[in-house]
Structure 1
């Protein structure tokens, strides 16, 4: 999904001058065509998380909200499950260990998935800082899966994921989606929820599955009252 300057102003609730400053001084990902800036939604969310730029609930209005339930992120994490003490001494080993334990359909080739995750990391690191990374494939369509899932993995020991803050990673959200639309929805919701101090506390403490899922559900319920681009509110 391509965004314009006006979309960016809406997502971040900042004036256009601030966006131009981010482009010039904070390496905001964009391209310029016919004297107009264009932004890729996924790259933008990755950048905002890495730079710790505050997201507003309006970030959801640009996703395909109306086709998804209120608890889509909660359900995706339930699908992918929460895993503790995942082994590995480096980025490649960790991702291999994770792919081996993911609840995947039998038709999905695990080795190919691992290779796609590694390729994405080499192209652009998915580490956000503060010990968290969100590995995902560049093009979700190639996975050919039916249900979206997010596997939350706590590593046995910290690993270098080339984070912008230089800190090693020990919390990974592995995002797998059946379509670009569902990928955008999950990534935008996860990006918004990760701004929660309470959720961050649970993650840093490696809280129980029940505690983490309960907080995700609470955060998503708040998003259901955010008007979409047509002025309608999500159903609770």
Structure 2
């Protein structure tokens, strides 16, 4: 799956000009086809997990000055559910379809993944062993740790196309070593399952953004329940300003 500059801009809710700036400074992986930049799915996934989101937020902040709201009509258009793009409640819906799993036992990521897949596989209508194998294989390619004690185990091949998107938030009984770039043990995992490549990338981007939010981080550190997290995510997604 090749992504264009327009695709990536929509994914991160920033302008195409911001993506061009990232390309200019070699801060985002890409390749060229007939003189046009393209982005590989796996490369963008890994980049989302490892990139310093503060830099991306600074880029978006700059764009808000480049593309200001000029009148009430324009604001109405930007806030319209049809034009929001990323500012849809995709994470809220996926979390609502999923669940919160607390005190999952395991000293290694493989043990946690195996324990979780036994719980979630029936809801996904997939085989637990196959699901665990897909998730572990993805971890072997590159750890899905976001840093600051968070990780996003995911496998695009795990669900049938057209299935409901689901996110399961998992609190291990004890924090575990996960191969994170910051070397911090993981205390919260977002198990991500999406019914399409587009939804997969949108949810991964949302989770990467959410992980940098101080209030969200504290809720996860406190091992908040599903109701509290749903309430926060709904309000947070509703406040995201669409660019372009």
- Correspondence list, 1:93-108, <5 A: 93-102=111-120, 104-105=122-123, 107-108=125-126
Question: Aligned to 2:174, what secondary structure does the other structure show?
Answer: strand
Structure 1 partner of 2:66: none
Q: After superposition, give the CA deviation of every residue in 1:113-161 in whole Å (9 maximum; x if it has no partner).
A: 1000000000111111001011111435x54572110000011111121
**Residues 222 and 42 (structure 1 numbering): CA distance in 2 closer, same or farther, change over 3 Å?**
farther
Q: 1:79 aligned to 2:97?
A: yes
- Correspondence list, 1:1-236, <5 A: 1-4=2-5, 11=14, 14=18, 16=20, 18-23=22-27, 28-34=28-34, 36-40=36-40, 43-53=43-53, 54-55=56-57, 56=60, 70-102=88-120, 104-105=122-123, 107-139=125-157, 143=160, 146-223=163-240, 226=242
Q: After superposition, give the CA deviation of every residue in 1:81-132 in whole Å (9 maximum; x if it has no partner).
A: 0111111110110100111111634741111010000000001111110010
Compute the displacement of 1:16 (Å).
Answer: 4.0
Cα distance between partner residues in 2 of 1:108 and 1:10:
32
Cα distance between partner residues in 1 of 2:191 and 2:34:
37
Cα distance between partner residues in 2 of 1:184 and 1:129:
19
Structure 1 partner of 2:76: none
Aligned-pair RMSD on alpha carbons?
Answer: 3.3
Structure 2-normalised TM-score? 0.74
Cα distance between partner residues in 1 of 2:3 and 2:96:
30
Across the two proteins, how many residue pairs are aligned to each other? 217
Structure 1-normalised TM-score? 0.77
Cα distance between partner residues in 1 of 2:23 and 2:146:
20
Q: Is the 8 A contact 2:89 2:237 kept in 1?
A: yes
Comparing both structures, which one devotes a greater share of its residues to helix?
Answer: 2
**Residues 15 and 30 (structure 1 numbering): CA distance in 2 closer, same or farther, change over 3 Å?**
closer
**Residues 194 and 150 (structure 1 numbering): CA distance in 2 closer, same or farther, change over 3 Å?**
same
**5+ residue gaps, structure 1:** 59-63, 230-236
